[in-house]
């Protein structure tokens, strides 16, 4: 009696999280690694190592990925007096987290460790180095996050989103660098514009501006958009993902508009699974400039007005925005306190000039890497 051959299994340890910018590229890469490995008759056993209260704990559970929590600390680079005490406390947590990471990695015996950044990645990266496990480090932003500046020297391969990031690496790490792009969810590329227009009651043929400040909304973006609504709506229609806390206020602003303009504006607390359709329908996007957002906007090729979150740890959002602006792939408000008039001016430039809008979108698409997840997965599989 013949038996089916046993599929060989490889092991991958993934670490990174705290924010969606670190967590979702890791998730997309894990999925792609498994798909590519299966095509070659391999199974991949994955263990995700992160913090108990980080986004990564929830995301790994939702996708059935085994998870191990470790203790670690965060270094705040510009601490105030209250944060200074937290910095000291966290400094004592780091060695304990490294010991936990060493025990976890030793038990799992991964063929490769993938780090996508965040302070939880440092103990696991140190453990990989001490236990001589190949470490693939991925950086999402144009510069280098603090954790990845530490890990770059330990990594076997340094995967980068942007070619321009090579110059930010320590000299000893540059020959290990490979530009893969930033992995995005495959469904982002599968949106249907008409489906979004019908869902939200917008007209086909009138330009659509999609405004988003992230899942919780952005006070700065919401306030700027509210201030320019009447003038803006004479040129376009606006879908405004404003966050739950702002939904009532912006609904009241909608009700105060003249009826002809009211139909052109819709504030919604959250945009979820319909996001691919929304991006397909949008002519211009107003948003922050986090790494994940930039990866999606360039992958689908959208003209955008970027309003970076300032300050962030290494001012990375302004760095991302400047990178796109220099390539003619976006417009941006780079000052800490932009005015409604400045936002309106940038939007009008794109809305009133279809050729500029189209060239900006084309330049954005030229920067996009729709194959980023596969490129990063192949780097990982090459070390297995």
pLDDT of amino acid 91: 60
pLDDT of amino acid 214: 82
pLDDT of amino acid 215: 75
Residue 316 has pLDDT above 70, yes or no: yes
CB 241 within 8 A of CB 208: no
Residue-wise pLDDT tens digits, 269-311: 999 999 999 999 999 999 999 999 999 999 999 999 999 998 7
pLDDT of amino acid 198: 97
Domain with CATH 3.40.50.2000 in the chain: 8-182+371-383, 187-367
pLDDT of amino acid 145: 78
pTM of the predicted model as reported, rounded to 2 decimal places: 0.86
Residue-wise pLDDT tens digits, 191-231: 999 999 999 999 999 999 999 998 778 999 999 999 999 99
Measured from the Cβ of residue 16, the count of other Cβ atoms closer than 10 Å reads: 33
Structure tokens at 83: 């944060």
Residue 5 has pLDDT above 60, yes or no: no
CA distance 161 to 375: 11
Place domain 187-367 in its CATH homologous superfamily. Glycogen Phosphorylase B; (3.40.50.2000)
Q: Torsion angle of alpha carbons 151, 157, 159, 160, nearest 10°? A: 70
CB 291 within 8 A of CB 316: yes
Structure tokens at 28: 């997309």
Burial (CB < 10 A; 0-12, 13-18, 19+), residue 105, is: buried
The sign of the dihedral angle between the CA atoms of 279, 138, 136, 55 is: negative
Looking at every residue in the chain, the average pLDDT score rounds to 91
pLDDT of amino acid 312: 60
The sign of the dihedral angle between the CA atoms of 320, 323, 325, 328 is: negative
Residue 233 has pLDDT above 60, yes or no: yes
Q: How far is CA 55 from CA 11, 20, 58, in A?
A: 23, 7, 5
Residue-wise pLDDT tens digits, 51-63: 999 999 999 999 9
CB 329 within 8 A of CB 298: yes
**Mean pLDDT in residue range 26-48:** 96
Residue 372 has pLDDT above 90, yes or no: yes
Q: Percent of the chain having pLDDT more than 90?
A: 79
CB 164 within 8 A of CB 46: no
Which helix (H) or strand (E) is 159 found in, with range?
Answer: strand 157-160
CA distance 185 to 168: 27
pLDDT of amino acid 92: 64
* Residue 318: alpha-carbon gap to chain centroid: 15
**Mean pLDDT in residue range 183-189:** 93
> Which is nearest to 304 in space by CA: 373, 372, 378, 368?
368
Structure tokens at 170: 């320590």
Which position has the token pair 């300050």? Answer: 311
CA distance 384 to 370: 24
User: Which positions ≥6 away from 377 have C-beta within 8 Å?
Assistant: 29, 32, 33, 35, 36
* Cross-strand bridge partners of residue 136: 114, 157
In degrees and rounded to multiples of 5, residue 305 shows phi and psi of -115, 115
In degrees and rounded to multiples of 5, residue 129 shows phi and psi of -65, -45
pLDDT of amino acid 273: 93
Place domain 8-182+371-383 in its CATH homologous superfamily. Glycogen Phosphorylase B; (3.40.50.2000)
CB 125 within 8 A of CB 135: yes
Helices (H) and strands (E) in the chain, counts: 15, 13
Q: Percent of the chain having pLDDT more than 70?
A: 91
CA distance 384 to 168: 28
Residue 6 has pLDDT above 80, yes or no: no
Residue by residue, DSSP assigns 240-260 as EE--GGGHHHHHHHHHTS-HH
CB 121 within 8 A of CB 138: no
Q: In three state form, how does the secondary structure of 15-55 look? A: ECCCCHHHHHHHHHHHHHHHHHHHHCCEEEEEEEEECCCCH
The sign of the dihedral angle between the CA atoms of 294, 296, 302, 308 is: negative
Residue-wise pLDDT tens digits, 71-124: 886 654 555 555 554 555 556 677 889 999 999 999 999 999 999 998 899 999
pLDDT of amino acid 146: 81
pLDDT of amino acid 73: 60
Residue 313 has pLDDT above 80, yes or no: no
pLDDT of amino acid 350: 98
Residue-wise pLDDT tens digits, 136-157: 999 998 888 788 888 999 999 9
pLDDT of amino acid 216: 79
CB 168 within 8 A of CB 252: no
Residue-wise pLDDT tens digits, 275-284: 999 999 999 9
């Amino acid at each position: 009696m013949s038996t089916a051959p046993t599929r060989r299994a490889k092991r991958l340890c993934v670490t990174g999280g705290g924010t969606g910018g670190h967590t979702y590229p890791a998730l997309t890469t894990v999925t792609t690694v498994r798909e590519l490995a299966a095509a070659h008759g391999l199974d991949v056993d994955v263990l995700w190592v992160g913090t108990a209260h980080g986004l990564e704990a929830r995301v790994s559970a939702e996708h059935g990925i085994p998870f191990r929590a470790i203790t670690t600390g965060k270094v705040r680079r510009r601490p105030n007096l209250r944060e200074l005490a937290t910095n000291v406390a966290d400094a004592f947590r780091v060695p304990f987290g490294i010991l936990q990471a060493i025990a976890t990695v030793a038990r799992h015996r991964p063929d490769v460790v993938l780090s996508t950044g965040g302070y939880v990645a440092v103990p696991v990266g140190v453990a990989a180095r001490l236990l001589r496990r190949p470490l693939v480090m991925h950086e999402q932003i144009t510069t280098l996050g603090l954790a990845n500046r530490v890990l770059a020297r330990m990594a076997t391969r340094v995967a980068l989103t942007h070619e321009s990031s090579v110059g930010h690496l320590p000299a000893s790490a540059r020959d290990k660098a490979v530009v893969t792009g930033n992995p995005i969810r495959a469904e982002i590329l599968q949106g249907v514009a008409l489906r979004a227009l019908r869902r939200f009651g917008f007209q086909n043929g009138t330009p659509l501006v999609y405004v988003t400040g992230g899942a919780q909304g952005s006070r700065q973006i919401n306030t700027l958009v509210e201030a320019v609504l009447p003038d803006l709506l004479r040129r376009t229609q606006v879908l405004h993902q404003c966050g739950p806390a702002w939904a009532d206020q912006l609904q009241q602003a909608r009700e105060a508009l003249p009826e002809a303009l009211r139909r052109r504006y819709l504030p919604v607390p959250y945009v979820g699974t319909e996001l691919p359709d929304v991006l397909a329908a949008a002519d211009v996007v107003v948003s922050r400039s986090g790494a994940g957002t930039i990866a999606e906007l360039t992958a689908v090729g959208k003209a955008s007005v970027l309003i970076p979150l300032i300050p962030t740890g290494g001012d990375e959002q302004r760095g991302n925005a400047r990178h796109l602006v220099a390539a003619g792939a976006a417009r941006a408000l780079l000052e800490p306190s932009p005015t409604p008039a400045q936002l309106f001016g940038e939007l009008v430039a794109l809305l009133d000039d279809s050729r500029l809008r189209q060239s900006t979108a084309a330049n954005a698409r030229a920067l996009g890497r729709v194959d980023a997840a596969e490129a990063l997965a192949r780097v990982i599989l090459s070390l297995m």
